[in-house]
């Protein structure tokens, strides 16, 4: 998941004229301070709202409040990490030019087949503006540039490591034909009538159009999908024949890599699936899976390197968390 926000630190010059209750109210809205930069309760609520909504709607366990509290704290820690990374990027004196921001925004518009006016309207609905959006894009580009320099450029995978991984995991490259899919699922309520199903179909058709317009499948899945796979951006992993609902399986094995299905109706609800990868029966030779293994090992090393790097930055930082449970 990536998180961005505009950090505001309000300094009250005439503090001596503020009453104690008013000052307490201001402090209550601060949930964390990171090397002097502040995260407000409003910013945390805004970032966490779609995740809390999904938990409220999709999780039926008895410990729902505990799950929400734990995920809320995890979100805050992610926001803290992002501030630390932004601060580190500023220290490094890296520069992102305005033209790069413009190119990134234009590429986004092109992929979604949108006009600038459409983006401005969309941002207004979120109480944002084009200027604020450009600032967020610039911060994101700066952050990614720093991470490439500090993390990715220092990671390498050798041929020996690829060979060793293949030998140790040969079972993963053999077996029955399987397809790895992502799924967006809207469940039918128990006893749903024709009218209810038709309404849900309209909602799913609208989601399908968004995917055709270039929105990323995993991000849409996080926002709308129901069921356990929503927590993994819709990723169901590799599924062999005979392990899926017949209506879904019939479509899944007919999709090409990265192809998105139309809306599928099954007894439990409505599905849209995307074929991420597939493998056939028998053992794949190392030549055909070398790049796949290399990418996997590289990702593991990057994750480990990032955890070490951000842990060290947090150790050097002055962090105060004020979030109440």
Q: What is the largest CA-CA distance in the chain?
A: 77
Task: Summarize the confidence of residues 28-35 as an average pLDDT.
Answer: 88
Q: What angle do CA 202, 205, 206 make, to 5 degrees?
A: 90
pLDDT at 285: 80
Let me know: does 183 contact 221? Beta carbons within 8 Å: yes
Q: How many Cβ atoms are within 10 Å of 171's Cβ, its own excluded?
A: 8
Q: Give the C-alpha separation, 9 to 21, whole Å.
A: 19
Block residue for tokens 């309000």? 10
The domain spans of the chain are 175-279
Over residues 205-263, the pLDDT tens digits come to: 999 998 988 888 888 888 888 877 777 788 888 888 888 899 999 899 889 888 999 99
* Ranges of H-type helices in 113-186: 116-125, 130-150, 159-168
Between 265 and 56, residue with greater pLDDT: 265
Q: Give the C-alpha separation, 254 to 266, whole Å.
A: 17
Task: Summarize the confidence of residues 97-118 as an average pLDDT.
Answer: 90
The CATH topology of domain 175-279 is: Chitinase A; domain 3 (3.10.50)
Task: Summarize the confidence of residues 302-314 as an average pLDDT.
Answer: 91
On average, the pLDDT of the chain sits at 83
The alpha carbon of 25 is separated from its chain's Cα centroid by a whole number of angstroms, namely 33
Question: SS3 for 301?
Answer: helix
Q: How many Cβ atoms are within 10 Å of 2's Cβ, its own excluded?
A: 9
Between 93 and 163, residue with greater pLDDT: 163
Over residues 248-301, the pLDDT tens digits come to: 998 998 898 889 999 999 999 999 999 998 876 666 788 888 998 998 999 899
pLDDT band (50, 70, 90) for residue 181: very high
pTM of the predicted model as reported, rounded to 2 decimal places: 0.52
């Amino acid at each position: 998941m990536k998180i961005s926000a505009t950090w505001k630190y309000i300094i009250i010059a005439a503090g001596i004229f503020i009453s104690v209750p008013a000052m307490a109210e201001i402090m209550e809205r601060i949930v964390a301070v990171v090397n002097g930069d502040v995260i407000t309760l409003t910013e945390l609520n805004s970032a966490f709202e779609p995740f809390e909504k999904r938990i409220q709607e999709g999780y039926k366990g008895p410990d729902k409040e505990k799950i929400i509290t734990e995920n809320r704290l995890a979100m805050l820690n992610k926001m803290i990490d992002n501030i630390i990374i932004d601060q580190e990027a500023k220290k490094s004196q890296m520069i992102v030019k305005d033209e790069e921001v413009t190119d990134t925004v234009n590429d986004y518009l092109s992929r979604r087949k949108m006009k600038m006016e459409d983006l401005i309207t969309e941002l207004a609905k979120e109480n944002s503006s084009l200027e604020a959006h450009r600032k967020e894009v610039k911060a994101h580009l700066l952050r990614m540039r720093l991470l490439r320099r500090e993390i990715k450029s220092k990671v390498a995978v050798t041929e020996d490591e690829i060979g060793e991984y293949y030998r140790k995991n040969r079972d993963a490259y053999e077996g029955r034909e399987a397809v790895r899919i992502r799924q967006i699922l809207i469940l039918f309520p128990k006893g749903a009538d024709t009218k209810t199903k038709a309404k849900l179909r309209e909602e799913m058709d609208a989601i399908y159009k968004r995917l055709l317009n270039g929105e990323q499948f995993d991000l849409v899945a996080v926002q709308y999908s129901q069921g356990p796979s929503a927590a993994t951006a819709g990723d169901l992993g590799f599924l062999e024949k005979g392990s899926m609902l017949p209506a879904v399986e019939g479509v899944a094995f007919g999709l090409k890599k990265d192809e998105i299905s139309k809306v599928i109706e099954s007894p439990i609800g409505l599905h849209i699936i995307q074929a991420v990868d597939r493998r056939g029966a028998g053992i794949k030779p190392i030549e055909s899976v070398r790049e796949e293994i290399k990418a996997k090992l590289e990702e593991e090393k990057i994750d480990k390197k990032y955890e070490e790097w951000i842990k060290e930055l947090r150790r050097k930082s002055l962090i105060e968390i004020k979030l109440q449970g």
